[in-house]
Chains A and B, each alone.
Chain A
Amino acid sequence: MTERLRVHVDPDKCQGHARCKALAPELFELDEYGNAHEAGDGTVRPGLEDKAWLAKSNCPEIAIDVIEE
């Protein structure tokens, strides 16, 4: 896997299920209401790719994009 990955949470879709934070705490943060956003600019450090895909495939609101750059 050579491409660089970035995660992004669509704030309009997120309903605060917090699955992403539980599965990939390095990649996501929660605000005071428990709604999620990507940590920093969403860059997925090498070794965390699997967690990025796992978070995406467990979001009930389909609010997470994993962008291959």
Chain B
Amino acid sequence: MSDLSQPAAHPPVTDWVHDFDHTDPQWTDDPFPIWDKLRAASPVVHTERFLGCYMPTTYEAVREIANDTEHFSSRRIIVRDVRPEITSRNAAPPITSDPPVHKPAKQLLLPPFTPDAMKKLEPRVRAICNELIDGLIAESRIDAAERYTKHIPVRAIAHMLGIPETDSDLFINWIHMILELGIKDENVLLQAVQEMSAYFAGQIEERKRKPTDDLISYLMNVRDEEGNPLEDSHVLGSLRLLLIAGIDTTWSAIGSSLWHLAKTPADRERLIAEPGLIPTAVEELLRAYSPVTMAREVVKETTISGCPVKPGNMVLLSFPAANRDPKMFPDADKVVIDRRENRHAAFGLGIHRCVGSNLARMEMQVALEEWLKRIPDFRLDPAGTVTWSQGTVRGPRQLPFLLGKAM
């Protein structure tokens, strides 16, 4: 059996401007200076890797592409080594949908994710956070990713979907196979998609016998504009989306936030003294450490910020790079936790705005509030190593912390 823990290697990058690679270890560890270099070279850069791929480097270029559904399709949303034929129009609707089918598919998913709906879920998330803290607070040396950040979003989305929170490890493994290993290995990706589909097909069958009051039953019961139920493939695709999008994105955002606070005592102390500032700080942490980079496929020739782009290439739609654009954000490379004007693009721009953004914001706020309340003193463990995920979602996967004042 091949080693499933680490993605296969690409040749190392020596010329970032003309040969960038977002899976290169240098990018994974510290992408910020790379984006600066690329932005200084051009608003849109190109690499021959991944069968040809562009990357907008400025906020403006990212916005132009995100708002242009005529030239840029969402049928492919991950930049990968291979580009097989598209066989399913219901891959993961609505994130993989283009107009005109996008809007009705998205509207079905929006009501369960409004801010009011998230308020009802909040007590469960607070309880999950406290349960996790109970399990680690007595220790002085922990991996906060393994013990805390990793479990919050997966258990929250499992709770919403009505699937066992105890299956979390299964879900986390599928996400790793799809979003990281799958970039370079088609078989691993297909295996995860098949396992996930079989799992959800079983859940759907159970609910046909015994309906429940959860998000899976909701999707099975919604009707489209003509009053018809969704095709099974649509329900399955949307369930795959909710699980994939709901897990390591927010895990990453919470992890990056705690990582920042562990190494920035002034910000940590201020948030403890002024917990009312946490929602504003969360926006700034989202801007500065945006976890998600989406992709588009160029389907018609056009220009972006004066740069020609050709069909057949992919686009690495880097919301994180946009969020570090100094033309858009003064002191873009500084984390200013009380930044008032913050039009960041961490949840995307345009019609594909993240359906779960209200969920993610609530989870981040609650996770930070509960942690800071109970563990005000923590810092990075100099004996450990912080590691970062690769590819579509960026966040700490190992987060060694020392807890307590004495440490």
Contacts and interface: CB of A to CB of B under 8 A. Distances in A.
A59 interface: yes
Interface string A16-54: 111001100000001011110000000000000000001
Contacts of A59: 343
Q: Mostly helix, strand, loop or mixed at chain A's interface?
A: loop
Interface string B109-133: 0110111100000000000000000
Contacts of B350: 15, 61
B343 A22 contact: no
A32 B114 contact: yes
B343 A18 contact: no
Contact of B349 (A21, A33, A54, A60): A60
A57 B115 contact: no
B280 to A, nearest CB: 9
Given A57-B340, A57-B341, A33 B353 contact: no
A58 B115 contact: no
A35 B106 CA distance: 12
Contact of B353 (A16, A54, A62): A16
B114 A54 contact: no
Interface residues of B, number: 22
Contacts of A62: 343
A33 B341 contact: no
A34 B110 contact: yes
A34 B108 CA distance: 12
Contact of B358 (A15, A18, A60): A18
Nearest to B341: A57
A49 to B, nearest CB: 14
A34 B342 contact: no
Interface in B323-377: 340-345, 347, 349-351, 353, 357-358
A58 B343 contact: yes
Given A15-B353, A30-B114, A22 B279 contact: yes
Which of under 10, 10 to 19, 20 to 34, or 35 or more describes the interface residues of A?
10 to 19
Interface string B278-306: 01000100000000000000000000000
A7 B402 CA distance: 48
B343 A60 contact: yes
Contacts of A33: 107, 110-111, 114
Contacts of B353: 15-17, 60-61
Interface string A58-69: 111110000000
Q: Which of B107, B343, B344, B347 has the most CB of A within 10 A?
A: B343
A15 B110 contact: no
Nearest to A25: B115
Nearest to B343: A60
Nearest to A14: B353
A16 B357 CA distance: 9
Contacts of A35: 110
B218 to A, nearest CB: 14
Contacts of A58: 283, 341-343
Contacts of B283: 58
Contacts of A16: 110, 353
Contact of A61 (B110, B115, B344, B349): B349
Contacts of A22: 115, 279
Given A57-B340, A58-B341, A15 B351 contact: yes
Contacts of B110: 16, 32-35
A30 B357 CA distance: 15
A57 B345 CA distance: 13
23 contacts: A15-B350, A15-B353, A17-B347, A17-B357, A18-B114, A30-B114, A30-B115, A32-B110, A32-B114, A33-B107, A34-B113, A34-B115, A34-B358, A54-B340, A54-B341, A57-B340, A58-B343, A59-B343, A60-B343, A60-B345, A60-B347, A60-B349, A61-B349
Interface of A: 15-18, 21-22, 30, 32-35, 54, 57-62
